[in-house]
Amino acid sequence: MKEGVLFEITRNTLDTGLRGVPVGYCVTSFVDPKTGLTYVGRPIAELVNRDPIELIYLLYFGKLGEKEQVAQFHRDLNARAACKEETMQAIEALPTVGNPMDCFAAALLIAGMYEGTGDYREDCLNVIAKLPQLVACVINTHAKWGKTPDPKPELGYMENFVHMLQIPNKTFLLTQAMRLFNLLHYDHSGGNLSTFVGKAVASGLEPMYGSLAASMAALAGARHGGANRDGLQFVMSVLDELGETASAADVEKLIRDRLARKELVFGFGHAVLRIEDSRASVCYDYCQKHFPSNPLVKIALLLRSEGVKVLKENPKISDPYPNIDAISGTMLQAAGFHYPDYFTLLFGLSRCVGIAIQIVYERLEARGGKGTPIMRPSYLYKSRL
């Protein structure tokens, strides 16, 4: 390739979902095919013991804050956290049929009507602060679990979410697993579908809440945010078929059989990564530490090793390694959150943070403050006749 050329577009690269085509800058995170996810240059594995507010600060300001700066940021978010009564009532009146992600997209649009300021930066901070209550209300309403309480300023970001979620048996481990899940999903560079869609919609100057609603419709699909629920169902199906005493050889045979029948093996491969997803490695370690005898965890760990072994044999598979969806649902299930229909909502609760911050960059900071122009790629005409 000529110097300065980042990517060569040829006819072979058309109709491939813009795979690998650079379209701009991302100031929050980066996904390196060989080393995985970094938030502002810091590997995700080094950040997972930090508080969510510290990481949101990192993504928002581009640097880790001093203790008092983070505390002040937390106070600022707390002051913005409670949604208006009108917002909550409108969300509680939403239909409870179908995919709860539709309710979440609708809830974001409703929040935009009652809470939107039209200022991307203000709305970014407001929506980040309000996300725990918005998502708790969507789940409580959809599941018919009752009214959502107000957030408590003395609680942490995810402790507040768990406090507002009307589920029984809230344990320390459940909150901890939710917290880990939350901070692993904030951001995954600029090109993942939901982030890209959110920024594309905002490029037409749609305000923050509407742009996030669009991005959550993008996240809802089975190839993107819906994959964590499918990942758990796959692990469950393997456990059902092989039982709790399954050996590595049993799992290897099951994978070979399913592939021979042209069935999908869920949780492997990624559009960018060419190693085990570093977020998945964090979840595997967490599960091994806290739930080593959970039957689903045991199966997920066997799939981790045997899946790679079998998939690596196929030279056509560019990434035979597990991604985060291979284990994140199993982790939530093992921690006591037995509601896979809401897994994608938990992904959305987290991902809206990164998307909102990336929208602020593209609208207010990119190109010396002018912002990126409206997205308008070109398509070549082709007759179907």
Binding site for ligand MLT (CB under 6 A): 188, 192, 270-271
For helices 85-92 and 120-142, the axis angle rounded to 10 degrees is: 40
Burial string for 114-127 (b: 16+ CB within 10 Å, else e) reads ebbeeebbebbbbb
Nearer CB in complex with ligand MLT: 175/278:
278
Nearest CA to 284 out of 266, 302, 306 is that of: 302
- Residue closest to ligand MLT (Cβ): 192
Minimum Å gap between C-beta 192 and ligand MLT is 3
Minimum Å gap between C-beta 143 and ligand MLT is 25
- Look up residue 118 and give its two tokens: 């039209």
Give the active site residue among 74, 163, 185, 270. Answer: 270
Nearer CB in complex with ligand MLT: 94/227:
227
Catalytic annotation present for 224: yes
Catalytic annotation present for 290: no
Minimum Å gap between C-beta 335 and ligand MLT is 20
Minimum Å gap between C-beta 29 and ligand MLT is 10
Give the active site residue among 187, 277, 319, 325. Answer: 325
- Look up residue 120 and give its two tokens: 């991307």
Length of the chain in terms of residues written: 385
Question: What are the helix (H) ranges across the chain?
Answer: 52-61, 67-80, 85-92, 100-115, 120-142, 157-164, 172-184, 193-203, 208-219, 227-242, 248-260, 278-290, 295-312, 328-334, 343-360
Nearer CB in complex with ligand MLT: 54/187:
187
Catalytic annotation present for 270: yes
Do residues 277 and 322 make contact, with C-beta atoms less than 8 angstroms apart?
A: yes
Give the active site residue among 224, 230, 277, 319. Answer: 224
Minimum Å gap between C-beta 186 and ligand MLT is 10
Nearer CB in complex with ligand MLT: 58/137:
58
Nearest CA to 330 out of 227, 220, 256, 188 is that of: 227
- Bridge partners of 32, per DSSP, are 36
Nearer CB in complex with ligand MLT: 188/298:
188
Nearer CB in complex with ligand MLT: 17/118:
17
Sheet holding 36-39, edge to edge: 29-32, 36-39, 42-43
Minimum Å gap between C-beta 347 and ligand MLT is 8
Instruction: Return the active site residues.
Output: 224, 270, 325
